[in-house]
Amino acid sequence: MSKKGTNSESEKSITSREADYAQWYQDVIRAADLAENSPVKGCMIIKPNGYAIWENMKEVLDDLIKSTGVRNAYFPLLIPERFLQKEAEHVEGFAPEIAVVTHAGGKKLTEPYVVRPTSETIINDAFSNWIQSHRDLPMLINQWANIVRWEMRPRLFLRNTEFLWQEGHTAHATEKEADERALMMLKMYEDFMREYLAIPVVSGRKTENERFAGAKETYTVEAMMQDGKALQMGTSHNLGQNFAKAFDITFADAKSGQQSFVWQTSWGVSTRMIGGLVMAHSDDTGLVLPPMIAPTQVIIVPVLSGKAATDKAVLAQADTILDELENEVLVRVLVDTSEERVGAKFFKWEKQGIPLRIELGAKDMEAKRAVLVRRDTGEKEEVALTNLGARVADVLGEIQAEMLQRAEKMQKAKTKTADSWDEFVSLLESGHFVLAHWCGDSQVEREIQEKTGATIRCIPFKQKAEKGKCILTGKASGGRVVFAKAY
């Protein structure tokens, strides 16, 4: 395999990561035609190329979620304002972000409705009717829905006034069972992100400051973007009995018959993952997608010469390859027979992140071969037509594996320990996950954020017991936590 030369055309339209990472991100999304800003402040339009990625994510996650016994349902978009007020921390957390319907059907409403910023309240109101006895538990419900949280500094996929997500809501007879469920779903997210998105994550607990409004414990998976900043890719909450008490969700115990409050969880991932996918893998040429989640995994580009007879044979061979890949190798594949010139085609599909390109021209036909070009590395490889299906399957597997390896390598390289304040600040400034000691005081955490712009992304599950001194106060600490600037 030989290294492909840089495509000069791409540099015109996509700002380099080094020059301006934020602009690069916008450029990649535009060049791959994933999404755009809408005339509705903070809301995006998810275009077909972007939505196809979401559909693939949904399909995989939906199966994974259902395989744990959860069933899908659908609850109202609009939530009576008084519901939100039942859980004190919850309303405090969400009040600044809510959109309110005050008029409908031509009249002012006697009670305003909130457009759901999350559905704990409306779902737990239903749970209070649905759950009577221990036989109704565990209650395991998931919803795919749109969510509205008013966003002052919107960024495509990462922060939008409206986004799409799944939100799981469960109720259990015991605290232990609820906590196990919350951790089970976090592990499911972690595995999904590694296996499908080729993104390694750091999983752990959130500090009190960063906890979901109303949760007893928030678990998180944090991914590193190429600039060393963190993106919270998904969260899972142990809600304790907070909502059960607010919404009076009780069940009759199996043995004693006594009424007890249920123990609950909620957990979700959203279209934000698409932003993470873009920032974790893409390059200065455009989008790079891992094969497992790419809507189109292979693009076949016939290279035509203008000679009718040869071109006919090339196109026929392209169709044969399409058929074999689609129906035997079970690959998501397209053939590009448009009238654009070949260079423009290569460039177009590179920008869109198709993992593998197959080039096929007259010379290739003569030599009974095709050329494979990897999007992630640019490597080219000649493959005999007789071996093409098997090789394509292998290369797609190699791309998937190597994309994860590269992301892991970067994560490792940009994760550092710091024991002095100067080192700590310098590592954060240059884009790192910084493992540092913290005394456990929420006020200190806020001070560190004010001074550095970084937050504690999580107290990692894999935290080693290690005596040390808080990076700001010097007070005693029993282990390092993960600090980073975050999206």
Q: Which residues bind a copy of itself (CB under 8 A)?
A: 38-40, 43-48, 51-52, 54-55, 71-80, 83, 95-106, 112-113, 115, 122, 125-126, 141, 145-146, 148, 150, 152, 161-162, 164
CA distance 199 to 410: 11
What does the angle CA 355 – CA 60 – CA 354 come to, to the nearest 5 degrees?
A: 10
Q: How far is CA 121 from CA 80, 89, 126, 444, 471, in A?
A: 9, 12, 9, 32, 39
- Of the two residues 35 and 454, which places its CB atom closer to a copy of itself in the complex? 35
Q: Is 400 exposed, middle or buried (0-12, 13-18, 19+ CB in 10 A)?
A: buried
Peptide bond into 138 cis (omega under 30): yes
- Of the two residues 230 and 335, which places its CB atom closer to a copy of itself in the complex? 335
- Of the two residues 78 and 470, which places its CB atom closer to a copy of itself in the complex? 78
Kindly state the tokens that stand for 329.
């190798």
Q: How far is the CB of 162 from a copy of itself (least distance, A)?
A: 5
What single DSSP character describes residue 89?
H
Instruction: Give the three-state DSSP class for 452.
Output: helix
Q: How far is the CB of 237 from a copy of itself (least distance, A)?
A: 22
CA distance 288 to 174: 44
Q: How far is the CB of 192 from a copy of itself (least distance, A)?
A: 20
Q: List residues bridging with 455 in a β-sheet.
A: 484
- Of the two residues 294 and 471, which places its CB atom closer to a copy of itself in the complex? 294
- Of the two residues 125 and 350, which places its CB atom closer to a copy of itself in the complex? 125
Q: How far is the CB of 120 from a copy of itself (least distance, A)?
A: 15
- Of the two residues 58 and 245, which places its CB atom closer to a copy of itself in the complex? 58
Listed residue (158, 392, 360) closest to 270, CA to CA: 158
Q: How far is the CB of 143 from a copy of itself (least distance, A)?
A: 9
CA distance 204 to 467: 19
Q: How far is the CB of 369 from a copy of itself (least distance, A)?
A: 32
